[in-house]
Amino acid sequence: MTLAELQTAFQDAVLNMAHAMPDSIMASRQQTAAERFGIYRDAYRLRLAEFLSNDYPVLRAVLGDESFNALARAYIDATPSPYRNARWYGRGLPDFMQANAPWQNTRAVGDLGLFERALADAFDAADSDAIDVSALACIAEEDQPRLRFTFQAGLALLNLAKGVAAAHQAVTGDFEVDPPSSTEEETIVVWRDRAQQAFYRVLEEDEALALDCASMGGTFAEICGLLSLRMDEEAAANHAAVFLIQWFTDGLIASIACE
């Protein structure tokens, strides 16, 4: 058997318990060849389950060890890793939950996975210094409607079942809250703050629309236009200005530019 053939057979048998291990694996004085090969089969599943557990600690706490382990086993069996870096292995878990029963039947649980993934992504997203609201002083008043914004690389806007973020906070803070809603939604913005911690804030509907527009490349005028569908023009401009200042204060904005 060539080295390439041996590695293919070895890997196939680790990934698929039904596949035979390579014939050339030898027994030791204390273990059969199958017992020895089983060390690698077991280690593979234990290691990937540990990656998932580390990446989704709150999901694990909410599901409980038994249910989380069942989820991890299903994900591991369905998802061999193409990644060199273990950091990325668990990124597909929320999508797997949304696509597969029984997890797809409980939206809040899948949403909790999406939320934890966004926090992890924000934590080690690419660096970019947040700019201060004083940057606006460099923009002439007549140019302000054409202002566009670039946000921090780790920023994510999530539409989740209402109460998911509170449930996450309750688990990490060890207190109790009502379970997430099965019918209502809320929008959450996740980013990395100036202290380099992943942070989040639940947005009111108007701010969620404005931030979504801005993060898609919308100008300040387009944000005002969007809000004016929900209120009069003066109120829309005032709201947009308040939101903008809040985004600067939160450290969401990496740069601004006029068209």
Partner 1 sequence: MQKPSPLGLPSSSQPAPLGFGLGLRPVYYPDILEHRPRVDWFEILSENYMVPGGKPLTMLDRIRADYPVVMHGVSMSIASTAPLDRDYLTSLKALADRVQPAWISDHLCWTGVHGLNLHDLLPIPYTNEALGHVAGRISRVQDFLGRRIAIENVSSYVTFAESEMDEQTFVQEVAERADCWLLFDVNNVFVSACNHDFDPFAFIHSIKPERVVQIHIAGHSDLGTHKIDTHDEPVCGEVWALYAEACKKFGGVSTMIERDDNFPPFEELLAELDRACAIAASSGRAMVSQAEALA
Return the residue of 83, 91, 129, 205 that touches partner 1, per CB under 8 A: 83
With a CB cutoff of 8 Å and minimum separation 6, the contacts of 93 are: 52, 55, 56, 71, 75, 113, 117
Binding piece for partner 1, criterion CB under 8 A, among 7-15, 98-106, 171-179, 235-243: 7-15
Return the residue of 18, 66, 85, 216 that touches partner 1, per CB under 8 A: 85
With a CB cutoff of 8 Å and minimum separation 6, the contacts of 103 are: 71, 96, 97, 109, 110
Long-range interactions of 166-169: CB distance < 8 A, separation 24+: 167/62, 167/108, 167/112, 168/58, 168/112, 168/115, 168/116
With a CB cutoff of 8 Å and minimum separation 6, the contacts of 224 are: 145, 233, 236, 237, 240
Residue 44 contacts partner 1 per CB under 8 A: yes
Provide the mask over 104-143, with x wherever binding to partner 1 is found by CB under 8 A and - wherever it is not: ------------------xxxxxx----------------
Q: What angle do CA 165, 161, 200 make, to 5 degrees?
A: 30
Q: Which of 196, 120, 209, 123 is nearest to 159 (CA)?
A: 209
Residue nearer to partner 1 on the CB measure, 40 or 144: 40
Residue nearer to partner 1 on the CB measure, 32 or 104: 32
Residue 37 contacts partner 1 per CB under 8 A: yes
Residue nearer to partner 1 on the CB measure, 65 or 234: 65
Binding piece for partner 1, criterion CB under 8 A, among 44-52, 62-70, 140-148, 162-170: 44-52
Binding piece for partner 1, criterion CB under 8 A, among 11-19, 143-151, 156-164, 183-191: 11-19
The CB-of-228 to partner 1 minimum distance in angstroms stands at 37
User: Could you give the CA distance from residue 259 to residue 254 in angstroms, rounded to a whole number?
Assistant: 16
Residue 234 contacts partner 1 per CB under 8 A: no
Q: Which of 149, 144, 107 is nearest to 251 (CA)?
A: 149
Residue nearer to partner 1 on the CB measure, 108 or 125: 125
- Phi, psi (rounded to 5 degrees) for 105: -85, -10
Residue nearer to partner 1 on the CB measure, 120 or 171: 120
Using the structure block, give the residue that is written with the tokens 């061999």.
80
Q: Are 80 and 15 in contact (CB under 8 A)?
A: yes
Residue 240 contacts partner 1 per CB under 8 A: no
Instruction: Kindly list the residues in this chain that would bind partner 1 in the complex (CB under 8 A).
Output: 1-4, 6-8, 10-11, 14-15, 22-26, 28-31, 33, 35-37, 39-40, 43-44, 47-48, 51, 80-87, 89, 122-127, 153-154, 192, 196-197
